[in-house]
Amino acid sequence: MSAAATMAGSWRQFWQRFNARRSTTVALWTLALIVAATLLVPVFSPYDYSTPAWTRIFTAPTWRGGQLFGTDALGRDLLVRVMWGCRISLLVGLVASLVSVVIGVLWGATAGYLGGRSDALLMRAVDVLYSVPFIPLVIVLNVLFGRHLLLVFAGIGAVSWLDIARIVRGQTLAIRNREYIDAARALGVRAPAMIRRHVIPNLLGIVIVYATLTVPAVILFEALLSFLGLGVQAPLASLGSLVAEGASEMQANPYLLIIPALLLSLIVLCLNHLGDRLRDALDPHEH
Amino acid sequence: MSTEREDQALLSVHDLAVSYHGRHGAVAALRGVSLELRARECLGVVGESGCGKTQLLHAVMGLCSGGAQLQGSVRYRGRELLGAPPATLAALRGRRLALVFQDPLSALNPYLRIGTQLCEGARRQLGLTRRDAGRRASALLDTVQIEQPALRLRQYPHELSGGMRQRVMIAMALMCDPEVLLLDEPTTALDVTVQAQVLAVLRELRARTGMAMIFVTHDLSVLAAIADRVAVMYAGRVVELAPAAQLYAAPRHPYTAGLLHSMPRLDAPLYERLPAIPGQPPRPGDDTVGCAFAPRCPLVHARCALMPALRAANDLAVGDAWVACHVDGPPQRLREIWT
């Protein structure tokens, strides 16, 4: 058996373990379908997300004209708007999570590994940021810089890495006392390489789980901001702002609320489930 | 010891004490250990669990945890290591002094391939490229008699057997060609056949490279196969230090005699209970005044209330034996006290 064969083998093994349950397959396909739809529907649909159509206000979902999700208060096609909303929500979720994972892991692992005064300093900074009231901060940022999608990234990113930093630090404290850390030290490995090669790979499991749980959390967070009118700028929509619009119409036209809310829940549910399965599959002890 | 020997010493440990602050005050792990390791020598260190063997090695490597209080001195080629700046220590570790850990499962990072772990020290310390380090790792796995080294380098620790992991640990310590190899119970976790293989590897290595070793174990029979000199530790102190042959033939300390007496023998009658030294060793937290072995010693007398110093066992023709005991009788008598 060649080395390359075992490499390929371990990936196949990982995939088999990850994909072992039907629920994983379902979640994966659902997400893939949603992502494909968000990419394709706005391209091929005759409607766009911003042009009002005064003759078609509040059309209930129908096959006619392909308006499967109906139209909103301005006659805009809800299908296209929801797909745009998914794009924005997923983008915010992925980018903000990635940024917060990178910062959080580096911050937490450094604090935990170095310990002592550096640890205290780094973690007090986290405490201070925790105490900043988030919604007023976003409002202030909005007032100062105007409404911009980047502000949503920045605002969410600034808060969500704090949890990761704390969790990672706690894990690192445990890892630091493992014997293989001493063994690596006995071979002359120094702090930066130690954090990069011995601490962070051991955090991978928990970080991946937490990251996949952060994506839906960030999506919900963005939805909250948009619901409050602090998120994306109209006429662009995110799932949150669509839910907000739908909520104001929920008695007369419930589909305006139900469709984006269902989609939001579906995405969050799939991501949460995949996070769990990923953790199970990545744990090398169970091979 | 004489200055002439000081010059030969690669590593000299002088009056080394290590203690930790526990809930009930300081807990002493080492209470003043003096040893020296000469070039090309294999020094065995033997003792019961908790007598400070591992602490000794960790103190030499500067790996004691943050709460440890260290006193005394550890010199490598005359250079003081205790309190040396971290960068100095990091440069010596792996390159000059290498440690083989006791438990190969917990001392290997489960998330990294064997190859990565073998190479990382060498790439750092010797500035090797990835490819050169890989080649060296592969050659060393061959040296420690692991088959298919190229395959093993790609595997993770859990894919190897215990004996293989132990040999990987030895290969890892050898990556930078250290002058001093410290081995912390390298054969304890292994079954007898694998143990014999590992010992053969170490002996062959010593014959070929002349590497100096400190071999820590609780198994006297293992030391008989490899050590030039043996230090016997009890309760954080060295109680006897002598050339191996002499120590086995004529132990000078009652504790050593007891250890030798309680070794299982092939020629002993079946179903006979293994002889044991009665009583328990003092726990690290206990305050011992005088000789720590006195409560278990058949030869205890009034003077044992005073701490015996490590002194030359000078009544022997071979001058290199040291013992920390007030009793100064002929060695034959020590044999008899345990039977």
Please write down the HEC assignment for all residues of A38-51. Answer: HHHHHHHCCCCCCC
Compute the distance between CA of residue B36 and CA of residue B55 in angstroms, rounded to an integer. Answer: 16
The mean pLDDT value for B297-305 works out to 85
Compute the distance between CA of residue B10 and CA of residue B244 in angstroms, rounded to an integer. Answer: 19
pLDDT score, position A287: 44
Is the pTM for the entire model greater than 0.80? no
Compute the distance between CA of residue A166 and CA of residue A185 in angstroms, rounded to an integer. Answer: 25
Q: How far is B336 from chain A (nearest CA, A)?
A: 43
Closest CA in chain B for residue A115: B66
Closest CA in chain A for residue B89: A188
Q: For each of the domains in chain A, give its residue range(s) and CATH number, in order of start.
A: 8-48+82-286 (1.10.3720.10)
Cβ atoms A79, A67 nearer than 8 A: yes
CB atoms within 10 A of CB A286: 9
| Strand pairing class (B322-323; B212-217) | unpaired
Judged by CB atoms closer than 8 Å, whether chains meet at B101 and A7 is answered as no
Q: Given the structure tokens 């601490």, which residue do they identify?
A: A199
CATH topology of domain B39-66+80-227: Rossmann fold (3.40.50)
Nearest to B154 among A3, A178, A285 (CB): A3
Chain A residues touching B101 at Cβ < 8 A:
179, 182-183, 186
**Helical spans, DSSP H, in chain B:** 3-8, 53-61, 86-92, 114-126, 130-143, 149-154, 162-174, 192-209, 220-224, 244-249, 254-261, 331-337
Coil, helix or strand for B72?
A: strand
Cβ atoms A194, A144 nearer than 8 A: no
Q: Is the pLDDT of residue B1 over 60?
A: no
Judged by CB atoms closer than 8 Å, whether chains meet at A186 and B93 is answered as yes
Q: How far is A190 from chain B (nearest CA, A)?
A: 7
pLDDT digits 0-9 by tens, A91-100: 888 888 888 8
Q: How far is B89 from chain A (nearest CA, A)?
A: 8
Q: Per-residue confidence at B17, pLDDT binned at 50, 70, 90?
A: very high
Chain A residues touching B61 at Cβ < 8 A:
186
Side-by-side strand order, sheet with B79-80 = B25-38, B9-22, B68-76, B79-80
pLDDT digits 0-9 by tens, B53-73: 889 999 999 888 777 889 999
Inter-axis angle of helices A200-227 and A78-114, nearest 10: 140
Judged by CB atoms closer than 8 Å, whether chains meet at B94 and A187 is answered as yes
pLDDT score, position B5: 46
- What one-letter code names the amino acid at A142? N
Q: Is the pLDDT of residue B153 over 90?
A: yes
Q: Quote helix, strand, coil % in chain A, to nearest 5.
A: 80, 0, 20
Compute the distance between CA of residue B169 and CA of residue A165 in angstroms, rounded to an integer. Answer: 33
Chain A interface disruption, residue of B111, B153, B165, B179, most A CBs within 10 A? B111
Compute the distance between CA of residue A199 and CA of residue B9 in angstroms, rounded to an integer. Answer: 37
What are the extents of the domains in chain B?
39-66+80-227, 249-265+274-279+290-339
Closest CA in chain B for residue A10: B155
From its phi and psi, is residue B77 left (phi > 0), alpha (psi between -120 and 50) or beta? Answer: left
Q: Given the structure tokens 């100096």, which residue do they identify?
A: B212
Judged by CB atoms closer than 8 Å, whether chains meet at B101 and A187 is answered as no
CB atoms within 10 A of CB B265: 11
Sorted by sequence, the CB contacts under 8 Å of residue A179 that are 6+ apart come out as B101, B103, B106, B107
Sorted by sequence, the CB contacts under 8 Å of residue A184 that are 6+ apart come out as A194, A197, A198, B109, B117, B120, B121
Backbone angles phi, psi at A148, to 5 degrees: -155, 145
Token pair of B65 as six digits: 């945890």
Q: Is the pLDDT of residue B215 over 70?
A: yes
Cβ atoms B120, A186 nearer than 8 A: no
Chain B interface disruption, residue of A117, A187, A195, A286, most B CBs within 10 A? A187
Q: Is the pLDDT of residue B4 over 50?
A: no
Token pair of A39 as six digits: 């990419």
Judged by CB atoms closer than 8 Å, whether chains meet at B109 and A184 is answered as yes
Query: If you count residue pairs, one on A and one on B, with CB atoms under 8 Å apart, how many are there?
Result: 98
Q: Per-residue confidence at B316, pLDDT binned at 50, 70, 90?
A: low
Chain B residues touching A177 at Cβ < 8 A:
65
The residues with which B42 forms a beta bridge, in sequence order, are: B213
Question: Residues in chain A with pLDDT < 70?
Answer: 1-10, 283-287
A11 part of contact set with chain B, CB < 8 Å: no
pLDDT score, position B49: 84
Chain A interface disruption, residue of B60, B65, B120, B124, most A CBs within 10 A? B120
Sorted by sequence, the CB contacts under 8 Å of residue A196 that are 6+ apart come out as none
Closest CA in chain B for residue A286: B158
Nearest to A189 among B92, B124, B156 (CB): B124
Q: Is the pLDDT of residue B197 over 60?
A: yes
Cβ atoms B18, B64 nearer than 8 A: yes
Nearest to A3 among B58, B92, B151 (CB): B151
pLDDT digits 0-9 by tens, B231-287: 999 988 999 999 998 888 888 888 998 888 888 777 777 777 777 888 888 876 677
Token pair of A84 as six digits: 């745009």
The mean pLDDT value for B127-139 works out to 91
Cβ atoms B181, B209 nearer than 8 A: no
Compute the distance between CA of residue A226 and CA of residue B137 in angstroms, rounded to an integer. Answer: 56
Compute the distance between CA of residue A140 and CA of residue A43 in angstroms, rounded to an integer. Answer: 36
